[in-house]
């Protein structure tokens, strides 16, 4: 075919075919415009090694899938649905003669689930794999498993202009990598730093030199890449304002292109204007893929994209703007060189270009993984610890999504899909929406569920409305004339179309609903089935603050009518804040909450003392996540429960709430000190005793059932049971309770001082004692605090011999002047110990 020969990839097609035939898999990288999405599948479908079997080619986007199918069919002189066909959501054009099926990602997964061996398929092509969507990763994983376990003859080709080819090759067991260089036409890449201008103003400045100045100038269509719809409409508004002022009598078409547009409107953008008028297309990254938009020779790239980000804390997915990767910049620039030499203007500096990531972050790292996990469960991969990932997802995302699937009732705790889970997969809806639809009990409820699912799939259909209530959105859908001041009619039409498509899958007619009380009672129940983790309970009666299932807070605007509701389902919230503002919610009755949550309640029993009565009580809490559903309080406790509470109180209040005498405290201090100097002695402290009460206190409680009775126990005798006989003997020997003076008097030893065991004793009591006694197996001397006749410290020492032969004489000299009636002998070691007063 002539068009193939004109493409840079044409001279490589034979080699591509041979490598696929020989190795079974291949990774193909080719610059934008080389012809990989068109020439490669058309050439391969004619190869004998396919043995009459078909090719399935995966395209990320519907508009690209249909555009490529139509283009390839034209090259064959046929209409779509003969040798070349497509399957996209809610639309397919295939026949028994179709040899090449171009499908979108969800369709491929459905085909594999329904026919695991892919009978009649010789080759699966993954086009534009650089987008690394969750579904593309899943599809490649499933094809790899089919090749390994079921179909060795199934071939696999992964294609992209920009891809980490080495990692994909390694994943496919060393598949060869083929690279094709050369665009069809050269692209002049320029950089323009935006400074502090608004994005729309920078786009206008970049585009103006390329807007036709007179009728004789050749038209150059311009493609502008922007992050989202809001930026697209701001740019279109600015262009509409500026064009009449600066380009009189020149008609230029300003066209939007984004995924939410009706598919027919998207397709109309692909062909040049029939009247030859210049076009400026304002697109999201939908135009970054294999689309060839005829007539484009200028690309203006904002360098930004909007991507969804799954928030593990809230269980919600939010949109986030960020810089694109170098691979995306290459893809976008390539749109300008498809049909002629082109220009790509990047709205950032060359230094910023170097700071961009090489490749786009894989969606699996930032996405809600419920759909993926459910697909794997139905496929039979239920051991989630041994999944052969190309890129493993964050474990937190994976576990959160798995737990939510269990809460929805789609998988069990072992990962096995339930009947409802298998039905959900067949609906081709996200798991949350599938749960809503499957909860519908009647045909009328199915229509209501379809409307709910459609509304939750699109933007809010109301603007500047006085309440965040979801029910009003349903009313606007059914009775739009009542809301004409607030309704977004373009979004309304999208919602209606989506609801009709959902109903068509189950064969239910899309009759118009009239809002009734019956519907109002069903709304909360249906939404709760899909969003149970977004249930919220009012914190206090007069507040606008709610507590969510996940423990986070949520705030309603103070003047919102929903503030009268005790229970809400929060469908949109500002996840950036700890207590986020609610943007969309619906009320639900307490009876519906109780019915749904009953099988999921987690019971927790706590014992406490009633602050008012002082009596023991048992509090039984039944929680759904962080939300308290039911609380039961009783004072009718068993003896065992009372004793558990008593032990709990002791742990909270400490040992002193017992009959904790000075003797107990001294015993504890002795044992703690000895353990600090003898590593073989048991570690004993207040914290160890509190932690081990079940061993030394609980066995002796007997019939004790109150704090007053507990305080009568002889705790000191119980403490001794902590040590065995040998240990207690060692304690008495190495850390004695008393020092026995030469006078045979007993003086208590203090073990709570930082300087070590210390005894306070009047100096004269120690006359004749030559050395300091030693503790801890004769290793540590006892410290003496020597007292004056007035019982005040006059000296401390751990070396009595040194004291008697040294500083004693200075002390005695000073004390004789103060206490002349007391004994201060010159030879203290020869003096009889005893009273300090001199004998008369």
**For residue 768, what are its two tokens?**
């004749």
Neighbouring CB atoms inside 10 A of 815's CB total: 19
- Main-chain phi, psi angles of 129, to 5 degrees: -70, -15
Fold exhibited by the domain 2-180? Rossmann fold (3.40.50)
**Domain residue limits, the chain:** 2-180, 187-362, 435-600, 601-637, 641-734, 738-830
Contacts of 322 (CB under 8 A, 6+ apart): 304, 305, 307
Q: Give CA–CA dist 294/768, Å, rounded.
A: 116
The CA angle 837-839-840, to the nearest 5 degrees, is: 120
Contacts of 384 (CB under 8 A, 6+ apart): 373, 376, 398, 402, 415
The per-residue pLDDT for range 620-669, each reduced to its tens digit, is 899 999 999 998 888 788 888 888 888 888 888 899 989 999 999 999 99
Contacts of 141 (CB under 8 A, 6+ apart): 387, 388, 389, 390
- Main-chain phi, psi angles of 794, to 5 degrees: -120, -15
The reported pLDDT for the residue numbered 316 is 76
Beta-strand relationship, 553-555 and 278-283: unpaired
Helix residue ranges, H only, 340-383? 350-355, 370-379
**For residue 263, what are its two tokens?**
């598919």
Which residues of the chain, if any, have pLDDT below 50? 214-216
In the DSSP assignment, the letter for residue 115 is -
The reported pLDDT for the residue numbered 215 is 44
Q: Give CA–CA dist 279/296, Å, rounded.
A: 9
The reported pLDDT for the residue numbered 217 is 56
Q: Give CA–CA dist 797/803, Å, rounded.
A: 7
The reported pLDDT for the residue numbered 516 is 65
Angle between helices 470-478 and 489-506 (to 10 degrees): 90
Checking 416-419 for CB contacts under 8 A at 24+ apart, the result is 416/377, 416/382, 417/374, 417/377, 417/378
The reported pLDDT for the residue numbered 214 is 43
**For residue 313, what are its two tokens?**
């804390």
The reported pLDDT for the residue numbered 218 is 60
Q: Give CA–CA dist 288/302, Å, rounded.
A: 13
The reported pLDDT for the residue numbered 515 is 57
Please, what sign has the CA dihedral across residues 418, 420, 424, 427?
positive
* CATH class, 187-362 region: alpha beta
Query: Which of 32, 353, 78, 307 lies closest to 190, judged by CA?
Result: 353
The per-residue pLDDT for range 488-539, each reduced to its tens digit, is 777 778 788 888 888 887 777 666 555 566 677 889 999 999 999 999 999 9
Beta-strand relationship, 738-740 and 616-624: unpaired
Q: Give CA–CA dist 672/660, Å, rounded.
A: 16
The reported pLDDT for the residue numbered 748 is 95
Q: Give CA–CA dist 725/731, Å, rounded.
A: 10
Beta-strand relationship, 296-301 and 793-797: unpaired
**For residue 224, what are its two tokens?**
């502008």
Asked if 468 and 585 count as a contact pair (C-beta separation under 8 A), the reply is: yes
In the DSSP assignment, the letter for residue 302 is -
- DSSP assignments along 127-184, one per residue: TTGGG--HHHHHHHHHHHHHHHHT-TT-EEEEEESS--HHHHHHHTTS--EEEE---S
In the DSSP assignment, the letter for residue 344 is E
The reported pLDDT for the residue numbered 428 is 82
Q: Cα-atom radius of gyration of the chain, to the nearest Å?
A: 41
Q: Give CA–CA dist 538/524, Å, rounded.
A: 16
Neighbouring CB atoms inside 10 A of 441's CB total: 11
Q: Give CA–CA dist 402/391, Å, rounded.
A: 18
Asked if 163 and 358 count as a contact pair (C-beta separation under 8 A), the reply is: no
Please, what sign has the CA dihedral across residues 182, 187, 193, 198?
negative
Query: Which of 115, 108, 114, 71 lies closest to 89, judged by CA?
Result: 108
Q: Give CA–CA dist 6/680, Å, rounded.
A: 89
Alpha-carbon dihedral of residues 694, 697, 703, 709, nearest 10 degrees?
Answer: -130
Angle between helices 590-597 and 517-530 (to 10 degrees): 30
């Amino acid at each position: 075919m002539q068009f193939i020969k004109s493409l840079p990839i044409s001279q490589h097609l034979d080699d591509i075919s041979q490598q696929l035939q020989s190795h079974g898999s291949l990774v193909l990288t080719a610059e934008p415009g080389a012809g990989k999405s068109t020439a490669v599948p058309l050439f391969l479908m004619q190869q004998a090694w396919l043995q009459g079997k078909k090719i399935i080619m995966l395209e990320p986007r519907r508009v690209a899938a249909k555009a490529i199918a139509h283009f390839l069919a034209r090259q064959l002189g046929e209409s779509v649905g003969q040798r070349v066909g497509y399957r996209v959501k809610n639309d397919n054009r295939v026949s028994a003669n179709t040899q090449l099926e171009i499908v979108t990602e969800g369709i491929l997964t459905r085909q594999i689930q329904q026919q695991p061996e892919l009978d009649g398929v010789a080759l699966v092509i993954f086009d534009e794999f650089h987008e690394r969507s969750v579904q593309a990763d899943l599809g490649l994983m499933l094809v790899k498993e089919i090749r390994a376990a079921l179909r060795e003859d199934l071939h696999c080709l992964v294609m992209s202009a920009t891809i980490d080819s080495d990692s994909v090759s390694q994943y496919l067991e060393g598949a060869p990598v083929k690279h094709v260089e050369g665009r069809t036409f050269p692209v002049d890449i320029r950089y323009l730093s935006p400074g502090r201008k608004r994005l729309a103003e920078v786009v206008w400045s970049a585009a103006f030199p390329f807007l036709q100045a007179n009728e004789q100038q050749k038209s150059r269509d311009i493609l502008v890449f922007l992050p989202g719809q809001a930026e697209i409409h701001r740019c279109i508004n600015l262009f509409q304002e500026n064009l009449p002022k600066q380009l009189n009598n020149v008609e230029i078409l300003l066209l939007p292109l984004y995924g939410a547009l009706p598919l027919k409107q998207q397709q109309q953008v692909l062909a040049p204007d029939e009247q030859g008028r210049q076009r400026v297309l304002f697109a999201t990254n939908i135009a970054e893929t294999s689309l060839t938009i005829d007539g484009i020779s200028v690309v203006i790239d904002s360098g930004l994209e909007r991507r969804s980000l799954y928030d593990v804390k809230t269980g919600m997915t939010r949109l986030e703007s960020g810089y694109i990767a170098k691979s995306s910049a290459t893809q976008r620039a390539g749109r300008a060189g498809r049909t002629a030499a082109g220009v790509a203007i990047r709205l950032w500096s060359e230094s910023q270009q170097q700071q961009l990531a090489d490749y786009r972050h894989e969606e699996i790292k930032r996405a809600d993984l419920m759909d993926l996990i459910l697909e794997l469960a139905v496929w039979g991969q239920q051991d989630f610890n041994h999944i052969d990932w190309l890129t493993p997802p964050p474990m937190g995302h994976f576990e959160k999504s798995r737990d939510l699937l269990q809460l929805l009732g789609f998988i069990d705790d072992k990962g096995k899909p339930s009947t409802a889970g298998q039905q959900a997969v067949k609906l081709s809806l996200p798991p949350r929406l599938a749960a809503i639809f499957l909860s519908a009990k009647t045909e009328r409820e199915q229509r209501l569920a379809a409307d709910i699912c459609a509304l939750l799939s699109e933007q809010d259909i109301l603007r500047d409305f006085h309440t965040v209530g979801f029910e009003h959105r349903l009313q606007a859908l059914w009775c739009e004339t009542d809301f004409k001041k607030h309704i977004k009619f373009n979004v309304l039409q999208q919602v209606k179309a989506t609801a009709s498509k959902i109903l068509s899958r189950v064969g239910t007619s899309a009759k118009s609903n009239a809002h009734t009380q019956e519907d109002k009672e069903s709304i909360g129940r249906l939404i709760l089935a899909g969003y149970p983790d977004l249930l919220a309970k009012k914190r206090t009666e007069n507040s606008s603050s709610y507590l969510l299932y996940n423990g986070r807070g949520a705030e309603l605007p103070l003047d919102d009518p929903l503030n009268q509701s005790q229970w809400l389902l929060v469908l949109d919230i500002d996840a950036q804040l700890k207590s986020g503002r609610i943007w969309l919610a619906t009320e639900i009755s307490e009876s519906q909450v109780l019915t749904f949550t009953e099988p999921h309640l987690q019971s927790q029993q706590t014992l406490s003392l009633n602050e008012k009565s002082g009596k023991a009580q048992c509090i039984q809490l039944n929680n759904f996540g962080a939300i308290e559903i039911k609380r039961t309080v009783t004072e009718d406790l068993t003896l065992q429960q009372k004793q558990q509470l008593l032990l709990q109180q002791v742990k909270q209040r400490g040992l002193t709430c017992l009959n904790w005498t000075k003797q107990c405290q001294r015993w504890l201090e002795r044992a703690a000190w000895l353990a600090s100097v003898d590593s073989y002695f048991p570690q004993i402290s207040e914290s160890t005793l509190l932690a081990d009460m079940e061993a030394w206190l609980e066995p002796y409680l007997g019939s004790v059932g109150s704090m007053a009775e507990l305080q009568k126990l002889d705790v000191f005798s119980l403490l001794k049971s902590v040590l065995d006989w040998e240990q207690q003997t060692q304690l008495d020997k190495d850390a004695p309770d008393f020092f026995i003076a030469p006078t045979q008097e007993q003086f208590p030893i203090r073990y709570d001082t930082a300087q070590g065991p210390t005894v306070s004793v009047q100096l004269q009591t120690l006359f004749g004692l030559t050395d300091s006694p030693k503790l801890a197996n004769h290793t540590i001397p006892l410290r003496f605090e020597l007292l004056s006749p007035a019982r005040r410290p006059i000296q401390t020492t751990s070396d009595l011999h040194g004291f008697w032969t040294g500083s004693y004489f200075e002390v005695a000299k000073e004390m004789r002047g103060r206490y002349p009636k007391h004994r201060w002998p010159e030879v203290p070691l020869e003096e009889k110990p005893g009273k300090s007063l001199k004998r008369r």
